[in-house]
Amino acid sequence: METMTPLLSVIVPVYNVEKYLSRCIDSILSQTFTDFELILVDDGSPDNCGSICDEYAKKDKRIIVIHQQNRGVSSARNKGLDIARGEYVTFVDSDDQIGSITTLYENIQILIDRKDIDIVQYPIQMKKENGDCIMIKKPSREVILGTQEMYLRCFRDRVLEGYLWGKIYKVNIFTNIRIPENLVIGEDAYCLLDIIKVVNKIYISDLGYYEYLYRETSSIHMDYSPIKSLSLFRMNYKSYLTLCNFDGFEQLKILSFITVVKGYIEVKCRYNNISFLEEEFNCLKKLMPSMILFKGVSLKDNIRMIFIKLGGLRLFCQSCYLLVKLRTHDK
């Protein structure tokens, strides 16, 4: 007898979160919306996470557990996407939880009722481990973003959050898109830049909320290693290339360009040889913002742009690199 195809696939990448995992799973199972499959991808957890996942699967036939060797959160999410059967898909990190019990129902209903909507993003509540609320990100009203607005809201005022979680997607968005597995930070934003190229409308909902757990020990809050600096550079580089596809947005282009250049210099300081970034560097030279001075851009960044225009990008980067090295040596 064939099982019914679920309307929604909930994908949870699991790694070393034994302390929080049950809370996460329970928040999903307690939702008033029940037509879902829950895909738990145990990414080679060294703790008891794998056993916890298996125990839940024994009690609820909607739960599917995959065990794999540790390959990172992007690999785990992609594995979930490979087997997802739902018409819609959402991601939940295993130390987070879905807030109110009506969150999934209220937000998936928007996608069901509005066929022109491809993604629904719902509010975020950030909490510390002791339960103290740090921040609530909720729109004052519902917002629908068209194609050009998506980029503007993503780059400028962050109405569109740069995370894969806290959103429900039409699953066909991921037919030819996967989350990059070679990045250790910024992979969500990198993937979203691919996603907003193929969708028509995103609905920013004010219903329900995603509860994000702020952990001091989380890798996202720790100092950047060389590989993290490189990942962040690649994400910002892709953001800038995306902006260059649009006319206007000159202020944003300058700010984004300077961010990429700073990232390039940081990577150069952390690696002895960055010849592997020569293609990206040459592309940056060709796509430099046409304007030098711009209102809304800091005096420092305007000065940086003047130096780059007058002396060239390579000379500017090399000068900054040497200055950083000298300062480091003096310390």
- Is 90 exceeded by the pLDDT of residue 313? no
Residue 153: per-residue pLDDT:
64
Domain segments of the chain as ranges: 8-220, 223-330
Q: How far apart are CA 169 and CA 191, in angstroms?
A: 13
Question: What pTM was computed for the model?
Answer: 0.79
- Give, as one character, the DSSP assignment of residue 216: T
Look up tokens 């968005």; give the residue. Answer: 173
Residue 103: per-residue pLDDT:
97
Q: How far apart are CA 272 and CA 257, in angstroms?
A: 23
pLDDT in tens, 75-95: 999 999 999 999 999 999 999
Q: How far apart are CA 110 and CA 90, in angstroms?
A: 14
173: amino acid identity, one letter: I
Q: What is the mean pLDDT of the chain?
A: 85
Residue closest to 161 by CA, chosen among 217, 212, 116, 222 = 212
- Is 60 exceeded by the pLDDT of residue 204? yes
pLDDT in tens, 223-280: 556 777 777 778 777 777 777 777 667 777 787 888 888 888 888 887 767 788 888 8
Residue 2: per-residue pLDDT:
46
Q: Is the CATH number 1.10.443.10 carried by domain 8-220?
A: no
Sheet strands (E) in the chain: 8-14, 36-43, 63-68, 88-91, 97-98, 119-121, 124-128, 133-137, 143-145, 167-170, 202-204, 210-214
pLDDT band of residue 295 (cuts 50, 70, 90) is low
pLDDT band of residue 1 (cuts 50, 70, 90) is very low
- For residue 177, the Cα-to-chain-centroid distance in whole angstroms is 14
Output 97 or 243, whichever has higher pLDDT: 97
